[in-house]
Structure 1
Amino acid sequence: MTAYYNGFPQSDKDEKIDMINLDELEERAKEVMPEGAYYYIASGSENEWTWRNNTTAFNHFQIVPRALTNMDNPQLDTEFMGMKLKTPVMISPIACHGIAHKDAEVATQKGAAAAGALFASSTYGNKSVEDIAAAAPDAPRFFQLYLSKDWKFNQMVFDAIKQAGYKGIFLTVDALVSGFREANLRTQFAFPVPLDFFTRYQGAKGEGQTVAEMYASSAQKIGPEDVRRIKEMSGLPVFVKGVVCAEDAYLAMGCGADGIYVTNHGGREVDSGPATIDMLPEIAQAVNHRVPIIFDSGVRRGSHVFKALALGADIVGVGRPYLYGLALGGPKGVQSVIEQLNTELLIDMQLTGCKTVEDIKHAKIAHINYTADNLKSNTDPSRIKPYPVTAENQMKDDDSDAVSGASHS
């Protein structure tokens, strides 16, 4: 079945996904998502060099197997910021889950909770933080903040997330403006489903606006004094999200950040920037265990999670694949994505003698660089493939006010 919001098709599935690996889901998601919404997820900025190499660069590091370890039955349980988790895999924050499923962030939270994973929701979420919290009251969750120019708006957000039991804030500092996202321009994508915080504050739905227009409402300059102010106003721990060099890690810790979030926004902002995994070792050395480190961008395999942990991360986020899982299977689809990574990670732990997540942080990693690609983006006319037309992914022609960039039969 497919639900519709003003003609925009939304999955209503809730089923486990049969898969061999996460890469399969990217192509399968086309069958249930409109074209514009799909490419909002499945794209990066400009030529998408950084987006691709976020994953490719994991090959610069190699897991060294260990023998005669006399170890079996590895365990994924870990603790982070006082929260007990069943896995070091985290659901990274992404805007507008309603493009993948009718229950949006509520469904994602349910899937994360079922897997025992940390969940992070966005300022640009469709569902209210109250509804997200009610879906899994005891589940651990953080909030990604797009700092507004309007501090009354910011205070409203802080009050809401604290009341809803969120345990901390990820302050996004690497997306002051939108990257040049060619896929969004080619499909004329605009947010098709209302964004809760905009609705409750201004009565504006945040619907029908482009990504660039949404970013324009956020602060275009953020400095150390903002970190201090957010900590004071919210009373919550604040991680600086968007750190990709040692200098910025020092700066963030110097202004009181409670943690460092290593990410390049999944290759959606500065193209030709370095892959996050290549920058993680220097950041970890600068941090030197003084505050926790979260890592994301490009994670598609359990081995990627292993490498990030071994190179200095405490928690490893996955992004796009869980939205494909959400579209294909709802809450259980999200759970399936996390469990797939867990399955692969446990194999790597067994074959390296790592009994616990803490052991992974001391595993032996080799480092050999490989030449990366320089392909054009997947939506460049020379590479784009015909988009499938199915009964589930089409706009309804009688709803002319819908905005999605969907193809029509």
Structure 2
Amino acid sequence: MESLVCVDDFEKEGVNRLGRSAREFLTSGADDALTVKDNVDAYSRILIRPRMLRDVSKRDLSTTILGKKVKIPLGVSPTGLQRITHPDGECGSAKAAEKVGGIMVLSIFATSSYEEVAAAAPNVRRWCQFYMHKDRSITKGIIDRAEKAGFEAMVFTVDCQYVGNRRVSARNPLQFPRHLQFPNATPDAAKEELSIFRLHDIMDHGVTWEAVSWLKSASKMPLILKGIQTADDAIRAVELGVDAIIVSNHGGRQIDTCPATIDILPSIVRAVGERAEVYVDGGIRRGTDIFKALALGAKMVFVGRPIWYGLAVDGAKGATKVLEILRDELDMTMALAGVADIKSITSSSVCRKEDLSKL
């Protein structure tokens, strides 16, 4: 693992270690996967504007998220089925987030339970992600169980009422180890093997904004909406009292040719203002990407596929190395850009290529 020095290295190595089904599940996107690619490429269209002769002998990567301090504005996105990459699975991801001082978001399709993750990484900040069940009592039970296990916030994913058109799955139906379960998909640990597709059958495909108000009444935990992609929806969300928004297009896995998340981030930040925190995921592969996202108004960034690749290489150790690489790259970027702390990363720290002639 010593020869792997960037996230791209982990991707190449991790993909090579996976079986066909796991590899296709992790790397695939909707339709032609154009948004998967553009999520990554979009960061190259943004340039960093370094400032000179500033004291950067000490850097502070910490910030405050939902009123509590984190060592770094970097977290693990709610990617499911992590044990198809390595037995450590989500417990390994949680240990990695704990090591760097970030946040772990656990998917409803996790292959490790709330209780297992809490025991594996008791000091990491943990958020629970879910979809809305047709039976609201199931959703309430899931939330209550997560809170009892020490999870501190709800992440309601709103861009997945149906599964996107992933051609790779149609050509080659996915085959996963039979022993894997989704122990958080019901209020009690699963007592049988569950298909991810059968789980989608019990989700509420007709859910509306009413669900946000219901969730606010169902739990006192902060509520975060994941999957917001327009300023209008962001405004609606904050009007209903959500605490934070994750700008996300599901890693390009739901609808193809939608905008890259970094491109739509500024408009959503402007629309939300100070009424809620705004985070972003999708396409982050370098510390410079994190810097750019923070400059464009994100309070925090989350990574999904890079964690899968880290786990595939060496379980918890691999996932930790991935987050440490991103942390160290962000730290170096700040030093070279003349920025000593997170709050000093502002919109003036970056520009787009087409705007260079206007500066």
TM-score by length of 1: 0.82
Corresponding position of 1:179: 164
Structure 2, gaps ≥5 residues long: none
Shift of residue 367, structure 1, vs aligned partner: 1.5
SS of 2:78's equivalent in the other structure is: coil
Corresponding position of 1:205: 193
The 2-side partners of 1:141 and 1:202 are apart by 21
1:224-266 Cα distance to aligned partner (Å, 9 max, x none): 2211111211221111110111001001111111111100000
Q: Which amino acid letter does the alignment assign opposite residue 108 of structure 1?
A: S
CA contact (8 A) 2:83 2:111 kept: yes
Per the alignment, do residues 75 and 212 of structure 1 end up closer, same or farther by CA in structure 2, a change over 3 Å counting? same
The 2-side partners of 1:177 and 1:238 are apart by 22
More helix by share: 2
The 2-side partners of 1:126 and 1:154 are apart by 18
Quick check: 1:194 aligned with 2:193? Answer: no
The 1-side partners of 2:245 and 2:185 are apart by 28
CA contact (8 A) 1:51 1:266 kept: yes
Per the alignment, do residues 198 and 287 of structure 1 end up closer, same or farther by CA in structure 2, a change over 3 Å counting? closer
Q: Which amino acid letter does the alignment assign opposite residue 290 of structure 1?
A: R
For 1:65-76, list aligned pairs within 5 A. 65-76=50-61
1:156-191 Cα distance to aligned partner (Å, 9 max, x none): 101111101111011000011111112222331144
| One of 111, 133, 143 as aligned partner of 2:96 | 111
| One of 31, 34, 39 as aligned partner of 1:54 | 39
Corresponding position of 2:259: 274
The 2-side partners of 1:62 and 1:306 are apart by 10
The 2-side partners of 1:261 and 1:111 are apart by 21
CA contact (8 A) 1:98 1:104 kept: yes
Aligned residues with identical type, % of pairs: 34
The 2-side partners of 1:314 and 1:354 are apart by 16
The 1-side partners of 2:58 and 2:152 are apart by 31
Larger Rg: 1
| One of 126, 129, 132 as aligned partner of 2:114 | 129
Q: Which amino acid letter does the alignment assign opposite residue 158 of structure 2?
A: V
Number of equivalent positions:
352
Quick check: 1:302 aligned with 2:292? Answer: no
CA contact (8 A) 2:55 2:340 kept: no
The 1-side partners of 2:256 and 2:240 are apart by 28
| One of 140, 148, 154 as aligned partner of 1:155 | 140
Shift of residue 26, structure 1, vs aligned partner: 1.8
SS of 2:54's equivalent in the other structure is: coil
Per the alignment, do residues 233 and 191 of structure 1 end up closer, same or farther by CA in structure 2, a change over 3 Å counting? farther
CA contact (8 A) 1:352 1:363 kept: no
Structure 1, gaps ≥5 residues long: 1-15, 371-409
The 2-side partners of 1:242 and 1:198 are apart by 20
CA contact (8 A) 2:113 2:189 kept: no
CA contact (8 A) 1:126 1:194 kept: yes
CA contact (8 A) 2:282 2:304 kept: yes
The 2-side partners of 1:106 and 1:297 are apart by 22
Q: Which amino acid letter does the alignment assign opposite residue 259 of structure 2?
A: P
1:84-121 Cα distance to aligned partner (Å, 9 max, x none): 22211111110111111113211211121112111110
CA contact (8 A) 2:75 2:104 kept: yes
For 1:349-360, list aligned pairs within 5 A. 349-360=334-345
Q: CA RMSD in A?
A: 1.8
Shift of residue 222, structure 1, vs aligned partner: 2.5
For 1:300-339, list aligned pairs within 5 A. 300-339=285-324
SS of 2:61's equivalent in the other structure is: coil
SS of 1:195's equivalent in the other structure is: coil
